[in-house]
Amino acid sequence: GAVVSQHPSWVICKSGTSVKIECRSLDFQATTMFWYRQFPKQSLMLMATSNEGSKATYEQGVEKDKFLINHASLTLSTLTVTSAHPEDSSFYICSARTRLAGPIYEQYFGPGTRLTVT
């Protein structure tokens, strides 16, 4: 199946600093990538949709100036958490959409990045 990687897998940073998370589709081209956030024992909440070469679309309640998303190529999207605060501590998961045939797409997820802000 399609493989999506994330780097780093976990990161600890101090409050006020910025952290960049990379998401790569390893064996397919992804015109669309998604960023999710997951708190402990909760479901995945979509933060933003990233299309290659264009600005990301953010879900309601997600601060676009705080969570900067760049989708520079068909295999790479980055999420930068700016001026991180302890409440930003969470599990961040990216996914990439691939087209199977016609209007049928599937979504594959990365392994996630655990962010802890101290």
Partner 1 sequence: GQQLNQSPQSMFIQEGEDVSMNCTSSSIFNTWLWYKQDPGEGPVLLIALYKAGELTSNGRLTAQFGITRKDSFLNISASIPSDVGIYFCAGATSGTYKYIFGTGTRLKVLA
| Candidate list 25, 90, 97, 115; residue touching partner 1; CB under 8 A | 97
Choice between 15 and 81, CB closer to partner 1: 81
Residue 79 binds partner 1, judged by CB under 8 A: no
> β-strand 10-13 against 67-73: which pairing, if any?
unpaired
Query: Which window, 13-21, 56-64, 66-74, 80-88, contacts partner 1 (CB under 8 A)?
Result: 56-64
User: Under a CB-based contact definition with an 8 Å cutoff, are residues 82 and 98 in contact?
Assistant: no
Choice between 10 and 16, CB closer to partner 1: 10
Among 21, 40, 23, residue whose Cα is nearest residue 82: 21
